[in-house]
Amino acid sequence: MASLHNFNSASTHTNLGIKNSLEVEPNSIMPRHRDVHAVTIESGLNNDGDAGISLTWEDLWVTVPDGKGSSRPIIQGLTGYARPGQLLAIMGPSGCGKSTLLDALAGRLGANTRQAGDILINGHKQKLAYGTSAYVTQDDTLLTTLTVREAVYYSAQLQLPNSMSKSEKKERADMTIREMGLQDSENTRIGGWGAKGLSGGQKRRVSICIEILTRPKLLFLDEPTSGLDSAASYYVMSRIARLDQRQGRTIIASIHQPSSEVFELFHNLCLLSSGRTVYFGPTSAANEFFTSNGFPCPTLQNPSDHFLKTINKDFDEDIEEGSTGKKSTEEVISILVKSYKSSDGYQQVQRQVSEICKREGRTLEKSRSHASFLTQCLVLTKRSFVNMYRDLGYYWLRLAIYVALALGLGTIYYDIGFSYSSIQARGAMLAFVASFLTFMTIGGFPSFVEDMKVFERERLNGHYGPSAFVIGNTLSSLPYSFLISLIPGAIAYYLTGLQKGCEHFIYFAAMLFTCMMLVESLMMIVASIVPNFLMGIITGAGIQGLMILGGGFFRLPNDLPKPFWRYPLFYIAFHRYAYQGMFKNEYEGLRFASNQVGGHETINGEDVLRNMWEVDMDYSKWVDLAILLSMVVLYRLMFLVIIKTVENVKPAIRALMSAKPKQAAQIMMNPSDSPIHT
């Protein structure tokens, strides 16, 4: 019955444009799918030239270090293909290597992994990361402050070409939102930490929406239906399946628990266990494969459930095999893996792979995104501005704390006057502003890290480049930094009674503003190097701590130890220029009472600067400000360079490391020796 059911589903695929004539040979462990290749070309979806992307992988291995000096294989010699107009399902128990296979195919393996074997796009070796394909990963990295509609709209404007009008882009976004069944929640904020918004399944659908907006030629989906109920899973998958049928897209999706309806949407199935292929071929023939090996799907059971139950050894239970008794799951897997390797189906897959490679076609274009750079900068600025406005932790909380600190400073140094003791007090007050108030800019780092995660996802999927991100982030942050330096700055400045005159206050606020921008730029660099926000905050705080110490206030410039502190730190630390600029702004032109008892002498502000604070008086305070502004530009350029270097160096390192692991051949001879099995 079960096999009949599946042969019927083969005919469903025929209706979709893929004739899949299958016949079971008496002695074959697998049904033979005759001339699938020829027929799919007939279907018109697979002109490897213009129509789409064929992806093949041959003898693909992925290993990771096992911490004992050798490596552990996660993917073991997989061979397979994905063709235009077809939906390939990767299935298997949790931890069997589905995500790793998708990552390998999409060129996104982690830094500690090694890859061996060929992955070809239309017969060409080609790097896939950065804009050549779309990948919906398992975790939904979204801007939590945006509504569904906003998230999809902004994404449409970023990705869709300028040749499309604004209304066409909106229409595409609306249509995609409806396709994913999100129309009722389109005005709900996505939500995240601290603010509940969408459910997990709805977030999943937003992630899919964003990636299918441009109808990419090659789409990877890692568990697109996780968090969805069975009806929603079916609708989501059928909409995705429609993409591949209509437009000859190549779609590869890992999936956990497809209902029988969802399962039938897939054309091919890659069933994995511990990184090995248990079955690769038409979904419609999988049941027959299990039956012919003595593991028939019980009547009324969903075939995909049966497959997964049969090969899941995490909760090892003996499995009933036909009439011959019980076998351990490990034995069952071994039988299936061997049976697949010696089957006609495996030969067919190999033939298909070499056919596709021989035919060759176009390579994948580097970037699918055609919105102009200017449009991207404008959209990113707007999106980032809205995000900063709605995220309390980005600037608003900081503004409140700054106001409190400014009131603190204003009351502690209230009406500072021009006495001898005010010389020291002024210096301390200004140093506090230039070091601690700017240091606190670090408070926005967690929010920036969230932005970075979204940027990384969008960058990998080719929505826009790092330059547009830096420009968008810089422009959107300007008004907030301006506000934060102006309001608390004014409170502290006027309560303390620092030097009168508009120019002096403007310089003070401009210095505070520039230092904040500088710390933000520094933290951008930290974020591009350090993997998580806790480590980032510690690193950023450490760097700033050193700069404050070496800035020439806590230890005067001439007293700084020469190695490291004076050369080079004193010249690199932005605090030096901040202290000196602020001091010049305040002391120049003022006179202070002398400490001589009964004397009427006064001390000149310039003398205080020269002799007390050891300030370099050879250049004006505006030069200090200009140096800091150039540092802001330099730091942001450094961030760009780091991002671009990492993008270029990573694939080179990966290629270097992609030598076939030594133990691969040995494990291939005897899979049970694989550490995965121990």
Ligand X SMILES: Nc1ncnc2c1ncn2[C@@H]1O[C@H](COP(=O)(O)OP(=O)(O)OP(=O)(O)O)[C@@H](O)[C@H]1O
Binding-site ranges for ligand X (CB under 6 A):
64, 74, 92, 94-100, 110, 112-113
Rounded least distance, CB 97 to ligand X, Å: 4
What tokens does 94 get? 């949790």
What tokens does 209 get? 């929406």
Query: Alpha helices, DSSP H only, in 16-122?
Result: 36-42, 98-105
Residue 266 vs 635, nearer CB to ligand X: 266
Residue 253 vs 517, nearer CB to ligand X: 253
Question: Of the candidates 75, 94, 99, 72, which has an alpha carbon nearest to the alpha carbon of residue 314?
Answer: 94
What tokens does 420 get? 């001898």
Query: Alpha helices, DSSP H only, in 213-321?
Result: 230-247, 260-265, 283-292, 303-311
Residue 29 vs 74, nearer CB to ligand X: 74
Residue 50 vs 314, nearer CB to ligand X: 314
Residue 309 vs 575, nearer CB to ligand X: 309
The residue assigned the tokens 């990771």 is: 64
Residue 271 vs 603, nearer CB to ligand X: 271
Residue 329 vs 369, nearer CB to ligand X: 329
* Helix H or strand E segment including 579: helix 574-587
Measure CA 188 to chain center.
Answer: 23
Rounded least distance, CB 112 to ligand X, Å: 5
Rounded least distance, CB 289 to ligand X, Å: 20
Measure CA 286 to chain center.
Answer: 35
Contact status, residue 444 vs residue 394, Cβ threshold 8 Å = yes
Residue 98 vs 457, nearer CB to ligand X: 98
Rounded least distance, CB 221 to ligand X, Å: 12
Rounded least distance, CB 98 to ligand X, Å: 4
Residue 563 has a CB neighbour count (10 Å cut-off) of 9
- In angstroms, what is the C-alpha Rg of the chain? 32
Distance CA 128, CA 609 (A): 59
SS3 sequence, 107-171?
Answer: CCCCCCCEEEEEEEECCEECCCCCCCCEEECCCCCCCCCCEHHHHHHHHHHHHCCCCCCHHHHHH
Residue 113 vs 580, nearer CB to ligand X: 113
Rounded least distance, CB 108 to ligand X, Å: 11
Rounded least distance, CB 252 to ligand X, Å: 13
The total number of residues shown for the chain amounts to 678
Distance CA 104, CA 97 (A): 10
Residue 97 vs 216, nearer CB to ligand X: 97
Sort strands 319-321 and 325-327 into parallel, antiparallel or unpaired.
Answer: antiparallel
Rounded least distance, CB 274 to ligand X, Å: 9
Residue 76 vs 381, nearer CB to ligand X: 76
Contact status, residue 13 vs residue 263, Cβ threshold 8 Å = no
Rounded least distance, CB 550 to ligand X, Å: 39
Rounded least distance, CB 446 to ligand X, Å: 25
Contact status, residue 551 vs residue 433, Cβ threshold 8 Å = no
Rounded least distance, CB 94 to ligand X, Å: 3
For 601, phi and psi rounded to 5 degrees?
A: -70, 150
DSSP state of 443: G
Residue 105 vs 511, nearer CB to ligand X: 105
Sort strands 268-273 and 276-282 into parallel, antiparallel or unpaired.
Answer: antiparallel
Rounded least distance, CB 462 to ligand X, Å: 23
541 CB burial (10 A radius; 0-12, 13-18, 19+): middle
